[in-house]
Amino acid sequence: MSAEGAAAPRPTEDLTDRYDVIVIGGGPAGLSAGLNLVRARRRVLILDSNRPRHSATLVSHGFLTRDGVSPLELRALGREEFAAYPTAEFHQGLVESLEPAPAVSGFVVNARGVRGSADRVVTAPVVVLANGLTETLPALPSMRAYYGTSLHSCIECDLFEKSWAPLALIGTTSDLAERALLVSQVTDDLIVFTHGSEAITPAEEAALAAREIAVERRPIADLVGDRSGLTGVALEDGTVVARTGGFVRPLWSVPLGYASGLHLEVDGEGYVVVDARGATSVPGVFAAGDITPPGPQQLVVAAGAGARAAAAVTRHLLGAL
Ligand SMILES: Cc1cc2nc3c(=O)[nH]c(=O)nc-3n(C[C@H](O)[C@H](O)[C@H](O)COP(=O)(O)OP(=O)(O)OC[C@H]3O[C@@H](n4cnc5c(N)ncnc54)[C@H](O)[C@@H]3O)c2cc1C
């Protein structure tokens, strides 16, 4: 039965699918939380819709011992390690609702099966949210052709490979000048494209100019390139600015519609507020990874946050937190 359109789930005694912990999201944060929890012999279900944020790229960097690994391989390794434990279960499903269920002293989760998997209705006293971010890229016709190869979003992850090239930084948000400084660590030929926005203030433009970083304010029409990758940024007035790669600042949002009934505390940008242990404002609900207030958005940071949340969950289950 599809959970779509179904009446709100009622915790009844039919709900036999009970776990110690349900983890929503099977990226590095969720897998790491899951691994550490099954190692504490907890019965753990990871529900994952299998849409990793970094699927646009073939290579990921900066994960100690796995620098240069394909993101898919990293996830496959993580799933394998998790699934090797007797109390681990991984299920492909898109969580559509997460609600408190006092009758079962915890939460009830509805997931719609993806890729042929069954729908699930499951309960647990503890839930870990690790469902990552959704990103919106500037609406340029050829953006997808270059994103993850010539253009990246994570400066910490992909700066090294861009060294000494003529680079573009494209964005419309107020952190663009700071990001320009970060990119300028590896090149002396950087142009910041504000795409017709006011993302860079006149004072910031002057500060960037002092470091020989140019600001281009005209709107972009598209990206141009050939089989080797990006070759330029085409402006709406027909000018093509030669560039071979760079960075784009997507708009990020935290997809938490499924948890709206919990009224979780979020910050001004919608990130889930957690304490130093990964506990949210709702007792029994923990969060880890990119959906929590931004540190660097990196695989190893997300995995670390997952492990930290798992440590807090084990204490919570023992009544110690
Ligand atoms: C193009 C690109 C390249 C990157 N390159 C690097 C790199 O080289 N090095 C690096 O360290 N970092 C890199 N990153 C950043 C890195 O991918 C993220 O920081 C990391 O994946 C965050 O992990 P996470 O577990 O929080 O979320 P994610 O990895 O996004 O995983 C979240 C998971 O939750 C699932 N999900 C979402 N909603 C639901 C739901 N309702 N129900 C069930 N499941 C759900 C998704 O399908 C997904 O599998 C890159 C990011 C991008 C976009």
Model pLDDT for residues 89-129, shown as the tens digit of each residue:
999 999 999 999 998 899 999 999 998 999 999 999 999 99
Q: Quote the pTM value.
A: 0.92
155 lines ligand 1 (CB under 6 A): no
Cα 78 to ligand 1 centre (Å)? 13
Cα 214 to ligand 1 centre (Å)? 32
Instruction: Report the pLDDT value the prediction gives residue 5, as an integer from 0 to 100.
Output: 37
Instruction: Report the pLDDT value the prediction gives residue 42, as an integer from 0 to 100.
Output: 97
Instruction: Report the pLDDT value the prediction gives residue 16, as an integer from 0 to 100.
Output: 59
Give the tens place of pLDDT for each residue, 193-252.
999 999 999 999 999 999 999 999 999 999 999 999 999 999 999 999 999 999 999 999
Cα 52 to ligand 1 centre (Å)? 5
Task: Supply the residue whose CA is at minimum distance from atom 53 of ligand 1.
Answer: 54
Give the tens place of pLDDT for each residue, 100-109.
999 889 999 9
Asked whether this chain's domains 21-133+254-317 and 137-248 adopt the same fold, the reply is: yes
Confidence at 179, pLDDT banded by 50, 70, 90: very high
Residue 309 pLDDT exceeds 80: yes
Question: Angle CA(205)–CA(248)–CA(259) in degrees, nearest 5?
Answer: 115
Question: CATH says 137-248 is which class?
Answer: alpha beta
The stretch 27-32 carries a mean pLDDT of: 98
40 lines ligand 1 (CB under 6 A): no
Atom of ligand 1 nearest to the CA of 48: 44
Give the tens place of pLDDT for each residue, 34-85.
999 999 999 999 999 998 877 788 899 999 999 999 999 999 999 999 999 9
Domain boundaries, the chain: 21-133+254-317, 137-248
54 lines ligand 1 (CB under 6 A): yes
Query: In this structure, are residues 183 and 247 in contact, taking their beta carbons and an 8 Å threshold?
Result: yes
Query: Cα dist. 283→16, 38, 275 in Å?
Result: 23, 21, 12
Place of tokens 């090149």: 187
| Residue 99 exposure: Cα atoms within 13 Å on the Cβ side | 14
Instruction: Report the pLDDT value the prediction gives residue 54, as an integer from 0 to 100.
Output: 76
Task: Supply the residue whose CA is at minimum distance from atom 2 of ligand 1.
Answer: 54
Question: CATH says 21-133+254-317 is which class?
Answer: alpha beta
DSSP 170: E
DSSP 149: T
Cα 291 to ligand 1 centre (Å)? 10
